[in-house]
Amino acid sequence: MDWGMKNRLSKIIKPKDGHTVMLAVDHGYFMGPTTGLEKLDEMVKPLLPYADVLMPTRGGLRNYIPPETDIPICLRVSGGTSIINETNLLHEGIIVSMEDAIRLNVSAVAFSILVGQPFERDTLLAFTQTIDEANRYGIPVLAVTAVGRGLGKDAKYLSLASRMAAELGASIVKTYYCKDFEKIVESCPVPIVIAGGKKVPEKDALQMAYDALQAGAIGVDMGRNIFQSSSPVGMMKAVNAIVHKNATPKDAFEIFKENEK
């Protein structure tokens, strides 16, 4: 691994503890004006001090995030379908050239693959093309193991998708927390972060983050459970405490409540 790749990875995964808190705000690429992100700039600004990495789209970055912002960027580079196109949901291809990703000075790029759908080959080949192009410039690729309709968020499916992503060349895998999550971690040779998924009560989201860390995840890449919370800053601080300070779910929930007042 060359210096550039190692340097970028150290911006994504914090060397002090090998953990990371990623804040996902890329939802607009297929969900449009997602609840909580209508004014993305106003939502994100107070959250940045408690995030290690920001995951936006290129339009989100250019239009809402000031260029002097001091946070590593993991840029979403896959997409191509919208939430209303149910048959093709997550049938994603490359939506950003590596040249533009470099122009945006990113530390990593993120690509969603969908294993187990008729079009899986399309997403996997575009994914590996992205890995070849990104690695040429020392840019790590985070694989998002998307879950399509009819596919379970279970360890059997997610370990298949996660291991495939790693074998195909991903530097980091993002997947969902589920029962027997440690089996996914054990069979995946690269670090794993969890997505938050749909908004759930804050207590449950914090418990999930804690359980994922206990089972071997190196952090989170959360969106809706942060920015759709009654206190996004409180959730961000609470998740940060779990990931970097080994806080218990109870302590983390207290942190959230303190900030909710």
59 token code pair: 């339009």
Report the residue count for the chain.
Answer: 261
Compute how many residues bind ligand R5P; rule: CB under 6 A. 14
* 24 touches ligand R5P (CB under 6 A): yes
Give catalytic residue positions: 174
* 92 touches ligand R5P (CB under 6 A): no
CB atoms under 10 Å from CB of 179, counted, come to 9
CA quadruple 46, 8, 17, 154: dihedral, nearest 10: 80
Q: At its nearest, how many Å lie between ligand R5P and the CB of residue 1?
A: 25
Binding residues for ligand R5P restricted to 189-248, rule: CB under 6 A? 195-197, 221-225
Q: At its nearest, how many Å lie between ligand R5P and the CB of residue 195?
A: 4
* 54 touches ligand R5P (CB under 6 A): no
Binding residues for ligand R5P restricted to 152-191, rule: CB under 6 A? none
Q: Report the residue number, 159 or 175, with the smaller CB distance to ligand R5P.
A: 175
What gap in Å lies between CA 143 and CA 148, rounded to an integer?
15
Q: For 53-66, b where at least 16 C-beta lie within 10 A, e where not — what string?
A: bbbbbbebbeebbe
Nearest CA-CA partner of 235 in 213, 259, 217: 259
C-alpha 33: how far from chain center: 19
Choose which of 51, 144, 147, 252 interacts with ligand R5P (CB under 6 A): 144
Contacts with ligand R5P by CB under 6 A lie at 24, 26-27, 55, 112, 144, 195-197, 221-225
